[in-house]
Copies of this chain bind each other. A is one copy, B any other.
Amino acid sequence: MSAYHPLSNEEAIVLAKTIPGFFPEDAGLDCREIGDGNLNLVFHIKDPESAKSIIIKQALPYAKVVGESWPLSLDRARIEHEALQVQHRLCPDLVPEVYSYDDEMAFTVMEDLSEYTIMRHALIEGKVFPHFAEHIGTFIARTLFFTSDLAMEPRTKKEQVGRFINPDLCKITEDLIFDDPYRLSVNNNYPAAIEDEAEILRTDTALHLEVALLREKFLTRTEALLHGDLHTGSIFITEESTKVIDPEFAYYGPMGFDIGAVIANLLLNLAAQIGWKQDETDRRSHQSWLLQTSLDVWTRFEAEFRKLWDKHAVDPLAHAPGYQDMYIHKVLQDTAGFAGAKMIRRIVGLSHVADIDTIPDEADRERAQRLALSIGKALIMNCRKIHSITEIDDIVRTAAGNRGGMI
């Protein structure tokens, strides 16, 4: 029988004291459970005396989303912890440090980031982060390049593919992103006002073909170890620093999926500005920052990825003339397509984003939803034709212009 059980606050405190040299032995620790209770328990444990603190994150054996609950493997705690370690090794400044891990109890003890804000909340408040594109572009480039066959001995990479097979969490993505939005499903969740849009998603067979191709890539391409859920709720941020957390969806998949996730969430916030910034000049200027940052994420990724490739590629044919360009081109097309799929699912699918859902005015909210769908569809429908990042700029501006959304 497994010893697994959800930790109590008292147990979490006892555990925290076992981290060697972290808290004084006689510290009187405070503990608060700060998780949302949907997938994990998250304990924040602090010594008021020294002000030192840590996080204990424990996986729950189920997932709850919008009232639905289904069983979920605890193995995702191992995957999250191992992915955190890989990512921290490659990007020590951009990933919290892991102090310890317990397989049976499915918890990880890690660095506390209390001084950081969840990026989604900061974006909703209208904040801008001038270093974000540089930070996340570096994170993506380094984690994807160094876990791919470009940089790893193929036998070692295959063992990693095996360690990161993540059927339960991938299934959530497969259903919620690549299936439900395109059919009648009890998992879908959208206001009756946009039923016309939902119907188009269900009946547009040209769109279905593109989604089928993206889904196939998600299912069959072991290009690199992805974060797998790289939205702005998985990013802690300050003006100067960025930390990527929560890689429990990590698995070997197509590189564009991670980059697309970042861009999708910036563009969802861009669409949401309809509801947040009433002054048009102000709104346009903020939307321009969001769009430019989306493009910069790609540009930073590409520059860093090419640099790593030139310097560190071990693949014997990596330096064949033209190969790097073709590889980058493929990742760009995938990025656009996955970004689009991720925008669509956040409007009509089970799980939404607060950027749009918390817009106070109903009519504004609907306009933001329609704009997000319009950009999402345009990204998907054009992804196989894209040759340069500036085309994504055009696609977003055109979709937004047609919708009266911005710029």
A353 is an interface residue with CB less than 8 A from chain B: no
Q: By the criterion CB–CB under 8 Å, are A149 and B221 in contact? A: no
Q: Which residues of A contact B (CB under 8 A)?
A: 149, 154-155, 157-159, 161-162, 165-168, 170-171, 174, 178-179, 182-183, 205, 208-209, 211-213, 215-216, 219-223, 315-318, 320-323, 326-327
CA A396 – CA B295 in complex, angstroms? 46
Q: Specify which of B157, B178, B211, B320 is in contact with A212 (CB 8 Å cutoff).
A: B320
Q: How far is the CA of A158 from the CA of B322 in the complex (A)?
A: 33
A322 to chain B, nearest CB (A): 5
Q: Are B171 and A155 in contact (CB under 8 A)?
A: yes
Rounded to whole Å, the gap between the CB of A134 and the closest CB of chain B is 28
Q: Which residue of B lies closest to A254 (CB)?
A: B220
* A317 and B158 contact, CB distance less than 8 A: no
Interchain CB contact under 8 A, B183 and A316: yes
Asked if B208 and A320 make an inter-chain contact with CB atoms under 8 angstroms apart, the answer reads yes
Given contact pairs A209-B326, A317-B182, A320-B205, A167 touches B149 in the complex (Cβ within 8 A): no
Most chain B beta carbons < 10 A, residue from A155, A216, A222, A323:
A216
Select from chain B the residue with minimum beta-carbon distance to A318. B212
Contacts of A315 in B (CB 8 A): 212, 215
Question: Is the beta-carbon distance between B320 and A209 smaller than 8 angstroms?
Answer: yes
Give every chain B residue within 8 A of A155 (Cβ-Cβ): 167-168, 170-171
Q: Could you tell me if A220 and B221 are in contact, using CB atoms closer than 8 angstroms?
A: yes
Residues on B with C-beta less than 8 A from A174 are 154
Q: Which residues of B contact A322 (CB under 8 A)?
A: 209
Inter-chain contact B209/A323, CB cutoff 8 Å: yes
B154 touches A159 (CB 8 A): no
**C-alpha spacing A317/B178, complex, angstroms:** 9
Please indicate the chain B residues that have their CB under 8 angstroms from the CB of A162 in the complex: 162, 165
Contact B149 A219 (CB under 8 A): yes
Known: A165-B159, A179-B317, A316-B179. A170 touches B154 (CB 8 A): yes
Cβ B219 vs Cβ A154 within 8 A: yes
Of B154, B219, B317, the residue contacting A211 (CB under 8 A) is B317
Decide yes or no: A154 and B171 within 8 Å by CB, A221-B221, A320-B208, A320-B209 being known contacts.
yes
Do A205 and B154 touch across chains, with their CB atoms under 8 A apart?
no
A-B contact list, 11 entries, CB within 8 Å: A155-B170, A158-B165, A158-B166, A159-B165, A178-B316, A205-B321, A208-B320, A208-B321, A209-B323, A215-B315, A216-B327
Min distance, Cβ A390 to any Cβ of chain B, angstroms: 25
* A161 nearest CB neighbor, chain B only: B165
Complex Cα spacing A174 to B154, Å: 9
